């Protein structure tokens, strides 16, 4: 007689077929309460250097992390750590830099499927006589050593402009940043087949308003969306692809002149995107169809949120996390009323893989793994310390918290 399926096995996860059924149920107004997924995180592995700012991983299990430290002479240095398996690590000092722009991760990291690692950061040079702010990057080829820093721009906005780095499933990398002149935003591409970065190109200009607080999402097929706020908190998005270029900026939502919006964007391979942002009197969200049209903004809560995050899976199911609440936007539906995050959770990051696994980690490094539409997140990993970064690739989720890396196998 066949044995009954255990509750733990039944919680493992819902695949593409289950997500399709879910989408159909939602279309008919049925909202099934889905269980959380079983999650098991590895013990934290302390990084050998000051690499506790950002992390990247590939599905082979290789990882790269980065951060900054104060050298003996008082200057800020960039340090990167690499590992073939997330267990054994090697640290490298890339030299002075990493102190710009204000806020955000220093540096940001990306890792290709074949193991090429990329680090991106901003630096102050020429002080005290004549300070200027530059954007720099370094590349480590598969199995090789980190190359010397190269300068992508000599006009980095040192304030709230921000910078971001993304990579597609083929290893093509893209850097985006806000420049100093008229606060225009720019990008540069490092193709998987090339050893040097392409020239800086313009994403947005002063016509839309001074760009600030950039957010970048890249899908495995190379599609990309850059979202940003202007000086009056109006939200704009620029869409395109890493190798194919970008269209003109599109207006997504009006601002309230609070000048505090930091939008976050997510994108799947079908071209569906979710965008979440907070203003002084509300937190809002919008979605984009595969055809490229953005929806009208939806108010998720009539209060501002100190941090927001969003993720979307391969079926177009999206989640928004804001403050101590979250909201689902399941494929074929609309944004649901805000619900409370697990007790004690607030802020943090959320990610999703194409197959439908979602992972949320709160600001204290307590991580939860669940499927699209889950009404509860189940037991968390337990606090791992101050959360710095959270990433997911097919088969693997990685959390960087308190200078240590933990991993979870997702299937």
- Please give the pLDDT value at position 10: 33
pLDDT tens per residue across span 85-129: 999 999 999 999 999 998 889 999 999 999 999 999 999 999 989
Lowest mean pLDDT among 12-16, 65-69, 381-385: 12-16
pTM (2 d.p.)? 0.90
Nearest CA to 156 out of 138, 174, 139, 176 is that of 176
- Please give the pLDDT value at position 39: 60
- Please give the pLDDT value at position 183: 86
> Cβ neighbours of residue 366 under 8 Å, at least 6 residues apart?
342, 344, 345, 380, 381, 382, 383, 384
Question: What is the average per-residue pLDDT within 258-267?
Answer: 87
Question: What is the average per-residue pLDDT within 285-291?
Answer: 93
Nearest CA to 350 out of 308, 290, 299, 314 is that of 308
């Amino acid at each position: 007689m066949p044995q009954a399926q255990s509750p733990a096995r039944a919680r493992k996860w819902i695949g593409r077929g289950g997500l399709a059924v879910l989408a159909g149920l939602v279309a008919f107004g049925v909202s099934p309460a889905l269980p959380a997924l079983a999650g098991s995180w590895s013990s934290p592995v302390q990084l050998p250097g000051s690499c506790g700012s950002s992390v990247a991983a590939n599905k082979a299990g290789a990882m790269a992390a980065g951060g900054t430290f104060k050298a003996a002479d008082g200057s800020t240095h960039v340090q990167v750590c690499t590992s073939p398996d997330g267990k054994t690590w090697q640290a490298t000092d890339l030299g002075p830099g990493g102190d710009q722009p204000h806020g955000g991760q220093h540096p940001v990291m990306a890792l290709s499927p074949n193991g090429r690692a990329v680090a991106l950061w901003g630096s102050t040079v020429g002080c005290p006589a004549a300070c200027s702010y530059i954007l720099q990057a370094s590349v480590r080829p598969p199995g090789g050593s980190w190359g010397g820093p190269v300068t992508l721009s000599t006009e980095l906005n040192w304030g709230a402009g921000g910078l971001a780095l993304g990579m597609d499933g083929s290893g093509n990398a893209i850097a985006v940043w806000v420049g100093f002149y008229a606060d225009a935003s720019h990008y540069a591409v490092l193709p998987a087949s090339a050893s040097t970065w392409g020239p800086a190109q313009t994403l947005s200009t002063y016509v839309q308003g001074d760009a600030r607080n950039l957010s970048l999402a890249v899908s495995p097929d190379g599609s990309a969306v850059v979202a940003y706020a202007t000086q009056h908190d109006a939200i704009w998005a620029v869409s395109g692809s890493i190798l194919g270029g970008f269209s003109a900026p599109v207006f997504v939502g009006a601002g309230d002149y609070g000048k505090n919006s930091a939008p976050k964007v997510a994108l799947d391979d079908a071209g569906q995107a979710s965008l979440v942002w907070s203003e002084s009197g509300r937190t809002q969200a919008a979605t984009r169809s595969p055809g490229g049209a953005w929806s009208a903004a939806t108010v998720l809560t009539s209060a501002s949120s100190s941090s927001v995050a969003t993720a979307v899976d391969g079926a177009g199911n999206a989640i928004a996390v804001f403050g101590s609440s979250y909201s689902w936007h399941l494929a074929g539906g609309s944004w649901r009323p805000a619900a409370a995050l697990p007790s004690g959770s607030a802020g943090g990051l959320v990610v999703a893989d194409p197959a439908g696994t979602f992972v949320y980690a709160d600001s204290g490094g307590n991580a939860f793994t669940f499927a699209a539409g889950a009404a509860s997140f189940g037991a968390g990993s337990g606090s791992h310390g101050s959360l710095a970064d959270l990433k997911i690739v097919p088969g693997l989720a990685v959390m960087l918290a308190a200078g240590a890396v933990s991993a979870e196998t997702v299937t």
